[in-house]
Amino acid sequence: MLMEIKAFNEGRARFALWTALEADILHRSPDEEARKAADDHLGLMTPVLKGVLTDRGFDNAVKAQQVFGGHGYVGEYGMDQFVRDARIAMIYEGANGIQALDLVGRKLPRDGGRAITAFFKKVGDCVKEKREATRR
């Protein structure tokens, strides 16, 4: 269970950093095409980041609390506060159902699906590159 939490947290950090890098490109790049691609990425990934990371953050906090057994519910270790904080983060980021509606209703079809198509291409190219690298 702890390795699952750790693996998710490491992936989460990289996903958030990738999106933060795209925000820097959007605000600082002199290249109009790069800014447009970064804007597409941010528009597509913002509701995903908010929804997935808060949902899984809460789930992982509950799992970590279970590792402590009955002591996870005792304030001495602070796990109970982590669970409460993770739960409230889901509310602070906006109802995750609303984020999902925003993604499906507005972000996916925007500009003929340009953002999601570019995302799938980027991921597909990465998978192809890694697959070829392992064959060498």
Residues 69-115: tens digit of each pLDDT: 766 566 777 888 888 999 998 887 667 788 888 889 999 999 999 99
* Confidence at 36, pLDDT banded by 50, 70, 90: very high
pLDDT of residue 98: 82
Burial category of 27 from C-beta neighbours within 10 Å (exposed 0-12, middle 13-18, buried 19 and up): exposed
Q: CA 117 to CA 107: how far, in whole Å?
A: 12
| Rounded percentage of the chain residues whose pLDDT exceeds 70 | 95
Are 87 and 58 in contact, with CB atoms under 8 Å apart?
yes
Q: CA 38 to CA 28: how far, in whole Å?
A: 11
pTM above 0.85, yes or no: no
pLDDT in tens, 64-79: 888 877 665 667 778 8
The one catalytic residue in 10, 33, 93, 129 is: 93
Q: Number of folded domains in the chain?
A: 1
Catalytic residue check, 76: no
pLDDT of residue 100: 84
Domain around 9: 2-135
CATH number for the domain spanning 17: value is 1.20.140
